[in-house]
Amino acid sequence: MATRPIRLFNTLSRTIEPLETVTPGVVTLYTCGPTVYNYAHIGNLRTFLFQDLLKRTLRASGFEVRHCMNITDVEDKIIRDSQGELPLEADNTARHAAMKALTERYTQAFFEDLEAVAIPQNSFTFLPRATQYLPQMIQLIERLEKNGLAYAREGSVYYRVAGLPHYGCLAHLDREGMKLGASVDADEYDRESISDFVLWKAHKPGEPYWESPWGPGRPGWHIECSAMGMELLGERVDIHSGGVDLIFPHHENEIAQSEGATGHTWVTHWVHGEFLLVEGEKMSKSLGNFYTLRDLRTMGHDPITFRYAIQSNHYRKLYNFSVEGLKAAKNSLERLRTFRRRMEGEGESAGQGPWKEAIDPLARIETAREAFWNALADDLNTPEALAALFTLVTDLNAQDDRIALTRAERDAALAFLDETNAIFAGWPHEEASLDADVEALIEARRAAKAAKNWAQSDQIRDQLKAMGILLEDRKDGTTAWKRA
């Protein structure tokens, strides 16, 4: 299958560049996944949704996408939160077990949240856990040692940043301009340079550890992504992505580790998603505006509505999350879903009234299709892609009001809805089925209407509304329904 050319913003060059892959037709995609010590918040989810959008767009454009997302299951906060209950004398086996119990629980919760926003687990090619790649990390550090880019100090190993001339290329930082923070970890006082970062952390009492050539310890934060990415996707990766906050130091350090080992470019295209604000402010627990997807569900919001709200905005722009925004998203989705139901049904009789002009529905759909995919191919311009869809919906609705669309035209519209839904996952075909008693009520109302007993007819309609069933009387005398 031929692939559609895709243009993406590249953090390395700070410009939009055509995507060029190592193997034609195949994209290797590495995305930084969650640290599983708590539930994912909506900011995390924005990033994962943007990556899902990227992946779906690539697949719809004809690429085979080999997507690797890591699960970080060893890290400071995980250790902090998992070791507290253990007695001081607990052995390493018990410490690992406690850590695993915590990470398993939140890994599970994480995938549930992803499924809820239509990111299926089986859309990932690899989902490696950091703790399962210790040998690869150790080998990578040894490789860096051999290249003179790593040095051991009291059981820890550090990366010698001065040894890599292009360090800072991603974050566009240079040594002179750096305002060096005063924060130096107590156990990192003996680094050669304050910029050097830890590859391997020496064991401390009360922490789980692994054996290594440098003694017991655990991996530094950045090394897992380099090790797993190179192991599973290769030493040349097409796209690497994450939130903007990961540009420095995480991704900069990944570049240092991977390129310091191989001696060549690791990733060609770095793509970063912007943050989200909540009601105009940075999300934080102290401000009380910190939300998980679970919180939104408790408040009665559909996760798919959240997905739409996020994806209807451009991924490189700050998104201001708000309840008002969710409501707008819900209404927008409803318009598209109503349109789908209309296309799935048969045309109503021609109506009267003002109208712009007759169109060629099939040609009009083709125009929308082209605009839709062009927008996505241009750095994932979802607002523009959706505009193409909505314009089509208005045109087809107007036409259907006067000249009922043919079955073939309705099917063409449905095919386009399926195509766009494969990206946005917001307007799927829904199986329509009603309970017998609901059907009986609709029939009773039909009879009441026929008898012009409006009071009873309205009473039944209200009763159904209370049950979550909304009615729409059609021109041909039938009554359509939908769930609220």
Partner RNA sequence: GGCGCCGUAGCCAAGUGGUAAGGCCGCAGACUGCAAAUCUGCCAUUCAUCGGUUCGAUUCCGAUCGGCGCCUCCA
Please give the residues from 159 up to 188 whose contact with RNA meets the rule CB under 7 A: 171-174, 176-181, 183
438 touching RNA, by CB under 7 A: no
Contact 261, 143 (CB under 8 A): yes
- Least distance between RNA and beta carbon 138 (Å): 20
* Tokens found for residue 350: 């021609």
Residues 61-100 within binding reach of RNA (CB under 7 A): none
Q: What is the closest distance, in whole angstroms, from the C-beta atom of residue 117 to RNA in the complex?
A: 14
Cα distances (angstroms) measured from residue 3 to each of 41, 58, 62, 309:
35, 9, 5, 28
Question: Of 133 and 319, which has the nearer Cβ to RNA?
Answer: 319
- Report CA-CA distances (Å) from 294 to 110, 113, 285, 333: 11, 8, 15, 21
Question: Does position 374 bind RNA by CB under 7 A?
Answer: no
| Smallest distance from RNA to CB 53, Å | 14
Q: Is 472 in the site for RNA (CB under 7 A)?
A: yes
What torsion, rounded to 10 degrees, do the Cα atoms 221, 227, 233, 237 define? 70
Longest dimension (CA), the chain: 91
Quick note: the x/- pattern for RNA over 397-426, rule CB under 7 A, is: xx-xx-------------------------
Q: Judged by CB under 7 A, does residue 383 bind RNA?
A: yes
Q: Is 451 in the site for RNA (CB under 7 A)?
A: no
Q: Given candidates 10, 21, 28, 44, which one binds RNA under the rule CB under 7 A? A: 44
Question: 223-233 and 252-262 are packed helices; what angle lies between their axes, rounded to 10 degrees?
Answer: 50
Q: How far apart are CA 77 and CA 35, in angstroms?
A: 9
Nearer to RNA, 21 or 260 (CB): 260
- The residue (of 209 and 390) whose beta carbon lies closer to RNA is 390
Asked if the bond preceding 303 is cis, omega within 30° of 0, the reply is no
Total number of residues that touch RNA (CB under 7 A): 84
Binding of RNA at residue 317 (CB under 7 A)? Answer: yes
- Rounded CA-CA distance 373/416 in Å is 11
Nearest distance, CB of residue 39 and RNA, angstroms: 12
- Extract the tokens encoding 283: 């999300």
User: Distance of alpha carbon 305 from its chain centroid, rounded?
Assistant: 14
- State whether residue 367 is helix, strand or coil: helix
For residue 156, state whether it binds RNA (rule: CB under 7 A). no
Q: How far is the CB of 185 from RNA (least distance, A)?
A: 8
Out of 146, 166, 407, 475, the residue judged to bind RNA by CB under 7 A? 475
CB of 351 to RNA, least distance (A): 6
Comparing CB distances to RNA, the nearer of 83 and 381 is: 381
> Least distance in Å: CB of 51 to RNA?
9
8 Å CB contact between 339 and 393: yes
Stretch that binds RNA, among 54-62, 87-95, 117-125, 307-315 (CB under 7 A): 307-315
Residue 245 interacts with RNA (CB under 7 A): yes or no: yes
Residue 77 beta carbon to RNA: minimum distance, rounded to whole angstroms: 7
Q: Which is nearer to RNA, 260 or 347 (CB)?
A: 347
Contacts of 155 (CB under 8 A, 6+ apart): 202, 203, 214, 215, 216, 217
d(CA 217, CA 213) in angstroms, rounded, equals: 10
Please identify, using beta-carbon distances, which residue of 21 and 29 lies nearer to RNA: 29
Q: State how far the Cα of 335 lies from the Cα of 376, in Å rounded to an integer.
A: 21
Instruction: Specify which residues 206 forms β-bridges with.
Output: none
Six-digit token pair at 475?
């021109």
Site of tokens 């031929």: 2
Positions 329 through 358 that interact with RNA (CB under 7 A)? 331-332, 335, 338-339, 342, 351-356
Nearest distance in Å: CB 146, RNA: 25
Among 166, 435, 458, 483, binds RNA (CB under 7 A): 458
φ, ψ for residue 30 (rounded to 5)? -115, 125
The residue among 21 and 413 lying less far from RNA, judged by its C-beta, is 413
